[in-house]
Every structure is written in structure tokens, then in C-alpha cells.
Amino acid sequence: MGSVDLDREDVCVLVPTYNEAATIGDVVRGFREQGLTNVLVVDGHSTDDTRETAREAGARVVEQSGTGRGAGKGRAVREALDLIEAPYVLMLDGDGTYRPDDAEAMLGPLLSGEVEHVVGDRFADVQPGAMTRLNRAGNRIINAVFRIVHGRDLGDILSGYRAFTRESVARHGLTAEGFEVETELAVECMRHDVRTAVVPVTYRPRPDGSETNLHPFRDGGRIVVTLYRLAKTSNPLFYFGSVGLVALLLGAGVATYVAVEWLTVQRPHDVLAIVAAAGVLLGVQLLIFGVLSDMIVELHREQLRRLRQIEHRDAEPARRPVDHARDLADETASEPTADEGTASERAETDRTGDPGVAESDAGREAEAGTETDGGTRPPEGDSRRE
């Protein structure tokens, strides 16, 4: 994988499918040609030859639980993650719209340890006919809402081309059943501070004979509802504040109408006045509740960050005391002793013939004394006095 030296068996290619017999064979063979032989196809009870074609191409095929369409792509992904043992997962659709050649670019930041989750940005290179205008507009709107809610631009949160570590996904609480799983993955990455990168990929049109399983309005509506529902724990200020703002504006509008009617024509609207007051009070309360909830969530995130720092610090291998003592002994042994130093200095004096050095040695010996085999010899001056 480029400059990353890693066994390709550490990567599992996950391909959820439903009636993809026309494309799944080429998809599996394409990744095996890239050296990614660990391909897992999770089939949602296809009525064509998807499973047989995938097996013939060299993939490991399992059938997800449920009946009919297997309850959707989200369940297929959740069940697949329980089966995968490889530390890295490369996930994509089996419709042939994503290129196996982009696998290296997707896995590069992941395998190098820079990030834990990679999103393939389809809008970087959308080939003609790959995406309808309706789908493009819907994707733009959903991505804009995601930026507003989470304050982060992931380029294409609905992209089916993903690479992530199994450890990072284990922290997610995935519950999506259908095509909302990509949205849930993006939100969970923001909620758990998962390091995420965006990589440009090519998005190709479906080959002839392949039909899409996506229903723009039905699935798009589910994605929007999922995005709003998940904001309850990821951005409560938006979740409660948006409803509170609507209630506040409606109450203020009704209150304005009641005030104008009373001031201009002296016509009272007691019921509308009560509705206006209720709307304003509800809006203010929801806004306050959103602010307080947002503060609690931020404190919770800060505590989680500190816990991760502590876990990371504890995970570093501690040096054993015996190793530390051995290191000290080695350092002591490597330092020259006083006798060794004196002997080396004499040898240097004899070699250079420098009298200044010899006098210096004699002076030091006169002060400190020189050790002999029988003990310590006194300085020459003391011997003469005796």
C-alpha cells in the first residue's frame, strides 16, 4: 500500500450487497488483483446469483439475518463487524461505482496511523451519468445540514466508500437499519472525536444491467430524520434549540397579530394571546435547556478525552526496575576510574614528553598520594622530613 509496509491480510474488504449479480464478480476480482484477498460479502437475501457469483470470484459470503431484503444495509454492516477479525476495514458498495484502484489512497492515511476513519469524497470526480441531479441536490443539502450541526465538513457523509479501524468502530453505537448507516458513522466519528480524513475518489455510473436499490425520497427522508435524531446527543443545542426557535418565532408572530388587532381596532383575542404566550415560553425554555445540555455534553467529552490520555499514558511500556539497575551498572562500568585516568595521563606524558603535564601529575600525586600494592605511599616531602 504505497509506502506503508503492512500485511494486506490485516485489511478486510466489506461489501454489503442485494441483487448485485451483474457487478459483484468484477468488484471482488478487482480488489483481489490489488492484493486484498480478504473480501467479505454480506448479502441481504438476493433473489439473483449474487452469492454464487461472489463465491466464484473468491469472496467469503455470508447471508445477513432477517427476511426479504435483510432489513437493509445498516444491519448488514453491523453483523459484518461482528464477524471481521482484521484490524482494518475497507467498506464499499457492490454496484461497481467505486474503483478498486482507489483502495491505496483510502487505506494510506489509515495504515500510516494518521487517522482512524477515512471518507471517500465522490464529488471530487463524479463521472457523467453517475449521479442524477436530484441525488446531487439531496446530497448537497444533507452535507450542508451536517456542517451546520457538527461544525465539520467531511465532504460527502453519504459516501459508501469508507476505511476505518475496527477498534474505532467498536466505540460507535450503530443502530441504523438501512442507508442511514453512512450518516450514523459520520455522526459517531464527530461524537467520539475519531480522527477522520477525506480522500478524493472516483464515482462511476452503474454498469448496464445493474439497478439501484436507493429510493431518493424515502431513504433521503430517513437520512434527514437520522441526522436530526443523532443531534440529540452530539449537538443538543441544535436539537432542542431548533424546535425552541421555531416555537419562539411562532409565538412572537401570534403575539404581534394580537397586539396589532388590540391597538388598531380594539379587538381582543384571548385564546390567541394564550397560544402566543405558551409558544414564547416553550421556545425560551427549550433554548435554555439546549444551552444547558450542550454544556453537559462538552464536559462529558472533555472527561472522555482525559480518560483516553490516561489510558494512552498507561499503555506505554514501563521500564522495569531491574532494567533500570542494569542500565546504571553499565553506565558506571563505562566511566574510567581514578587509577585508569592517572595511568592514561602518564602514558600520554611519556609519549609527548611534555614537562608541564608531568609536573601537573606530580603535583596532584603530592597532594592526594599514590596507592601502591602495599597501601598508600606518603608524598616525597614527608619522607625527607623523616
Q: What is the pLDDT of residues 95-113, one digit of tens each?
A: 999 999 999 999 999 988 8
- Reported pTM: 0.69
Write the pLDDT tens digit of every residue in 348-384: 545 445 544 444 444 454 444 444 444 444 444 444 4
User: What confidence category does residue 28 fall into, taking pLDDT thresholds of 50, 70 and 90?
Assistant: very high
Contacts of 230 (CB under 8 A, 6+ apart): 183, 184, 187, 188, 191
Percent of the chain residues past pLDDT 70, beyond the cut: 77
Calpha distance 302→185 (Å, rounded): 21
CA distances to 152, 190, 197, 326 from 155, in Å = 9, 14, 10, 54
CATH number belonging to the domain at 8-234, selected among 3.90.550.10, 3.20.20.70, 3.40.50.450, 3.30.540.10: 3.90.550.10
What secondary structure letter does DSSP report for 178? S
The pLDDT of 264-282, averaged and rounded, is 92
CA dihedral 159, 161, 167, 169 (to 10 degrees): 30
Write the pLDDT tens digit of every residue in 185-233: 999 998 888 999 999 999 999 887 777 777 778 888 888 888 888 888 8
